Amino acid sequence: MIPANFEYESPRTLSEALSLLTSREDAKLLAGGHSLLPAMKLRLAAPSLLVDLGRIGGLNYIRESGEQVRIGAMTTHAEVAASELLKESSPLLALAAGHIGDTQVRNRGTIAGSLVGAHPAADYPAAILALEAEIVAVSRSGERMIPAAEFFTGMFTTAVQADEIVTEIRIPKTVGEGVCYKKFHHPASGYAVVGVAVRVKKAGAKIERAAVGITGVAQIAYRATAVEKALNGKPISAIGDAASHAAKGADVLSDYYASAEYRQHLAAVLTRRALETAAK
C-alpha cells in the first residue's frame, strides 16, 4: 500500500514550522519518520501536509545546564546512546537509547519523534518516567513545560497539543545513583515486550529512594509506584518482594506473542534484575 497524496514543506525556522503546522487541521510534523511514515503507508494516517523539521537549526544538541542535561528534539537515538556527557551525568537515557531498533533506526530516529509517537512498547518512555524528566513544547503563544508524569495520556497519544512542537527534553543529573535499563526484545519488531528503567539512591545498606518506569506492559508506559512504595526506606534484600508488584494496577496487554500472564511475569523478573543491578 502507498500513502495518500500529501504536500511537503521543509521550513528553515521554528516560527515558520509553527505557522505551517497551524495552517491545516490535519498537518503533521516529520522528524525521523519511523513512526509516521509506516502509518502513512498503511493509511492509518493521511495528513494533507507534512512539515519536515530536519532543516531547522538549533534542535540537535546535548548540553549541560546546572543540575540538568538538556537534549534537543532532533537529537538522534545514536547521538543519545553515544553521548559522553549523558554517560557521565545521567546514563539511564543513553542505556535506553542503545536498545532502540537497529543501527539504521538509531541513526535516523529522533528522541522527540519517539516520545510524541508514544508507542506503548517504546524504550524512552520508561526512562523518561523514571528520570522524572521535563518535556518542553512550543506554540505560537509561547512555551510550556510538561512533566513526564503528565506527558503520556494514552496509546499513541500525549499531552502535546495540535499546535505545539516539542523542542527540548530536560533530565536531571543522577551522579551518585545507580541506574539500569532491562529489556526483553520482541524478535520481529525490536520493541520491548517489557522494558524496565530504574534509578536507585542508597543510604548504606538501604534503598533511600527508587524510581521505576515500565514500558510494553500496558497501553502506556507507567511508574511502578507499588514497587517504589514497597522498596523506599527498605534494605536491599527487599528488592525481590518489591519487584513482584511491577504490574500491580496495570491493564496488562495480551497478544499472540506474549500473554498478559507472561508480561506480568517478565515485568517482575526484569524489575528485580534491574533493581539489583542498579543497587550494586
- Neighbouring C-beta atoms of residue 97, cutoff 10 Å: 26
Report yes or no: 191 and 99 within 8 Å, Cβ to Cβ: no
- The separation between CA 40 and the C-alpha centre of its own chain, rounded to angstroms, equals 22
- The one-letter code for the residue type at 172 is P
Please report the pLDDT score of residue 1 as a whole number: 72
Give the integer Cα–Cα distance in Å for 182 and 194.
8
Residues 128, 200 within the same domain: no
Residues 183, 168 within the same domain: no
Residues 73, 45 within the same domain: no
Question: Per the domain annotation, does 2 fall within a domain?
Answer: no
Please report the pLDDT score of residue 241 as a whole number: 97
Give the integer Cα–Cα distance in Å for 37 and 202.
44
SS3 (DSSP) at 249: coil
Please report the pLDDT score of residue 64 as a whole number: 97
Tell how strand 68-72 and strand 165-172 pair up: antiparallel
Please report the pLDDT score of residue 232 as a whole number: 95
Residues 272, 198 within the same domain: yes
Please report the pLDDT score of residue 3 as a whole number: 85
Residues 111, 152 within the same domain: yes
Give the domain range for residue 71.
62-172
pLDDT in tens, 160-186: 999 999 999 999 999 999 999 999 999
Strands ordered across the beta sheet of 28-30: 7-9, 49-52, 28-30
Residues 47, 145 within the same domain: no
pTM above 0.85, yes or no: yes
Please report the pLDDT score of residue 32 as a whole number: 87
Residues 274, 246 within the same domain: yes
- The separation between CA 277 and the C-alpha centre of its own chain, rounded to angstroms, equals 21
Using CB atoms within 10 Å of the CB of residue 255, give its burial: 0 to 12 exposed, 13 to 18 middle, 19+ buried: exposed
Among the three residues 172, 206, 224, which one is the final residue of a domain in this structure?
172
Report yes or no: 106 and 123 within 8 Å, Cβ to Cβ: no
Report yes or no: 97 and 197 within 8 Å, Cβ to Cβ: no
Report yes or no: 121 and 186 within 8 Å, Cβ to Cβ: yes
Question: Per the domain annotation, does 153 fall within a domain?
Answer: yes
Please report the pLDDT score of residue 194 as a whole number: 98
CATH number for the domain harbouring residue 17 = 3.30.43.10
Query: Which residues of the chain, if any, have pLDDT below 50?
Result: none
